Chains A and B, each alone.
Chain A
Amino acid sequence: MSMRTTGLGLVAAASVLLSGCVQTRQYADVQFSPPSGNYKLLVLRPDVTVSSLSTGGMAEPRADWTEQARSAIIAALRSQQASRGGQVQIVERRNSLAGIGDQELAEMERLSAVVSQSIVLHKYLGEYLPTKQGKGLDWTVGQAAINVGQKTGYDYALFLHAEDQVASGGRIALGVLGVAGCFVGFCAPNIGGATQLDYASLVDLKTGEVVWFNVVKASSQVPGIKFGDLRTPQGATQMVDRLLNRMQPGAAIRREQQVKR
């Protein structure tokens, strides 16, 4: 084995350690200030999927892991909100909310889900829209959300989406093989490991507008490297913390605050 391939192998092995990566990005309506005081917050049923990543790279949904993660996330949400002073209800079933029918709530949920997907696509994943530039967060769920607000008396609704993958044994082995290959000159150290994508959107139920939005994306190039497993209380708490704990006011409000200082 030549010096050169050995060197290449070592570089690849080193890059393994650096290849886990977590990104967060937050967007807010220009006039947004984080809810404080005696606000009433409705947390919609968290949309959670945990899959197993097969050797060939297919994401296979797992029912038991998804349930574990959903319970862990709900528990983490409860303790995160307990320290904030607002009145919070987490809707685990659509028919559990007084004052509104399950289909009406479902309609808002579906609409929020689609609006959130557009925000991720057009604000975060690079399909930027020229008409939305420099406008902060310019999206609305509209009348469906206002209806829910009027019928239930809540001020805000929070929509939460989390998808996570856990690399299977085969995928990890394949990654190890890819790194090992560097020593003979066939280098495939980054076949791609798990990807976690979480986002949250806060809807003002008086205006129907999405006032705040946050995305967390965590991914590793190498299978087997994890960054907070949503199935565990620690992982779920870390995710909820990354997603919700550093809510920033909108641009106009921040400017005002600076002027006052």
Chain B
Amino acid sequence: MCWRCNQISRRGLLAGGGIAAASLATGAAQARIRPADMQPLIGPGYRPTEKDEQGLWQLMERAEEEIAGSNLLITDPVLTGYLRDIIGSVGGPAAKDFRIYLAHVPEFNAMMFPTGFAVIFSGLLLRMRNEAQLAGVIAHEAGHFLRRHMIRSWRDQRRKTDLFAIGSMLAGIGGAAGGVYVGDYMRLAQLGTILSLFHYSREIEAEADAIGATLMEQAGYPPVEMANIWQQLIGEQEASARYRRKHRDRGYDLFATHPAPESRMADLRADALEVTKPGKAYDDRRARYLDKIGSIRPMMLDDQVKLNDPGASQYLVETLAKDGWNGLLRFYEGEVWRLRNRKDDDVRAAQSYAAAVVYPDAPADAWRWHGISLMKAGRKGEANIAFARYLAMKPEAPDAAWVRQMMS
């Protein structure tokens, strides 16, 4: 039920399935699920009444207890309150029942657990350009809960594995009694079971996208922003792959749990068109978003540039800068070059630092690296001015003594 997960080992499943047989089961193109057809299946204050779902909830309540106490969580009340407000506005009938946790993990993901609590990774907050995009992800996750996806997919999986177990046992016995070896057919049946499990998983993602579009629209966010997230993700993956001279994993194959980004983006655009009401004013609430995440944006950018993925980092900084460059973004642009450290990257980095310090919001470290770059270029007088500015902004800097020595 996560935003983009691919932890299931496809190779492992293939090994059991027999690749040749796969070609027989393909080709069924999937029709788009329409937002109008997606109504919430539960109301406020939902509690499970059946044994299987109760068991799942008990397990997940334990999990939440541990997650809620994890030291990976960002517990700043401004941010947690903000996320709670958003899920309160796009959570549909269960809006008051959700809990939402922000984890300090520099990856683009978010997940909803069966009992109605969601975990958002800080890497996701870094990538969202406005509140509408964040609300879109949260609405998608809320959609999983409102459509009861976890228990439905669990039951589907149980039913299919049951049928397969019974089917292969009966086939084996029938075949043996009739003197036929049915092993190959059984392997094919097994692959069919696996494929339909994945199909179910893609279907529920598409359902969550469709209901998410409606929830966004109702809360007054422009629904098209959800499609824009995918455009940004595709761009980032391509930029990352290009730098590493590899092809982006297109995310399209039989065993994908989520729809391929391209088809998902196309469907989301169609969803957005369908739910957008002509003449209604929508607001992406970008200013409020930047204000709320302002306190952790430097930390999130810092995490990102240290992932050693310069292609993606550069793309991200440039994407965020489409809404306007500032000192923080220019500084981290410089950091991407400096840490990449290819030929002439030091010159590029120096230019970025010089550009960063022009802005009033330039972080102290921008002045520090600007100073070092000037020093390397032999411009000691200007370097000292930059260093002095650094020390004024960060008097307790751990390297203050070293900087003073450089200045003397």
Chain A: residues with CB nearer than 8 A to chain B? 49, 51-52, 54-58, 60-64, 66, 103, 106-107, 110, 170, 174, 177-178, 180-181, 184-186, 188, 191
Contact = CB atoms under 8 A, between A and B. Distances in A.
Given A66-B58, A106-B69, A56 B177 contact: no
Q: Which of A66, A184, A188 has the most CB of B within 10 A?
A: A184
B25 interface: no
20 contacts: A49-B59, A51-B55, A55-B161, A55-B162, A55-B166, A56-B158, A56-B165, A60-B158, A63-B55, A63-B57, A63-B58, A66-B55, A103-B69, A107-B69, A170-B162, A174-B166, A177-B169, A185-B176, A188-B169, A191-B169
A30 to B, nearest CB: 33
Given A54-B161, A60-B55, A177 B69 contact: no
A52 B177 CA distance: 32
Most A C-beta atoms less than 10 A away, residue of B165, B170, B177: B165
Contacts of B157: 58
A34 to B, nearest CB: 31
A56 B162 CA distance: 4
Dominant secondary structure at the B interface: helix
A142 B161 CA distance: 43
Given A106-B69, A181-B169, A54 B158 contact: yes
A174 B58 contact: no
A182 B55 CA distance: 36
Interchain residue pairs A-B with the least CB separation, the first 4: A56-B161, A186-B176, A61-B55, A63-B58
B245 interface: no
B160 interface: yes
A103 to B, nearest CB: 5
A186 B164 contact: no
B175 to A, nearest CB: 7
Given A49-B59, A64-B51, A64-B54, A177 B161 contact: no
Nearest to B174: A186
A245 to B, nearest CB: 28
Nearest to B193: A56
A177 B173 contact: yes
A174 B57 CA distance: 28
Contacts of B56: 61
A181 B154 CA distance: 30
A188 B57 contact: no
Contacts of A170: 162, 166
